[in-house]
Amino acid sequence: MTITYAWRDDFDNAAVDALHAAGFGHPAAGASGPSGTDWQAQLRRHSLGWVCARDDGDLVGFVNVAWDGGVHAFILDTVVAGSHRRTGIGAGLVAEAARQARAAQCAWLHVDFEEDLRAFYLDACGFRPTAAGLIAL
């Protein structure tokens, strides 16, 4: 297994959708996202960038880096293919996202997560806990 990471890499909408669907437990919609969204158009319009992880050309990991257009970047939708989990790929995705956000002059990289991902984000990726708030909409 040779994993490569690429910032703002070209990707196939169906491949990202399938990876996202498997990782987050919703049905894959095919060439567009679960809500009919074109992943490429959405990311190019709203994100600082994204990182693709590939194993011999196959997409096995993905993370979106949204931002406020200034100094705050946000990790969203970190996902690794089931066959490649627990191999460090997720931490590699986040590390590359952090490098690229820093290079873009961001001062902060935020993430929110469910409790079962606490060890991943705090221990494996180096985030520190902060107080935050959330409203379900």
pTM: 0.90
3-state secondary structure of 73: strand
Rounded CA-CA distance 47/22 in Å is 22
Domain count, the chain: 1
pLDDT band of 134, cuts 50, 70, 90: confident
In this structure, is residue 134 part of a structural domain?
A: no
Look at residue 21 in the predicted model and tell me its pLDDT. 86
Phi/psi region, residue 8 (left: phi>0; alpha: psi -120 to 50; beta: rest), is left
Look at residue 8 in the predicted model and tell me its pLDDT. 97
pLDDT band of 32, cuts 50, 70, 90: low
* Residue numbers of the domain that contains 47: 3-124
CATH of the domain at 108: 3.40.630.30
In this structure, is residue 132 part of a structural domain?
A: no
In this structure, is residue 57 part of a structural domain?
A: yes
In this structure, is residue 136 part of a structural domain?
A: no
In this structure, is residue 129 part of a structural domain?
A: no
Average pLDDT for residues 8-23, to the nearest whole number?
90
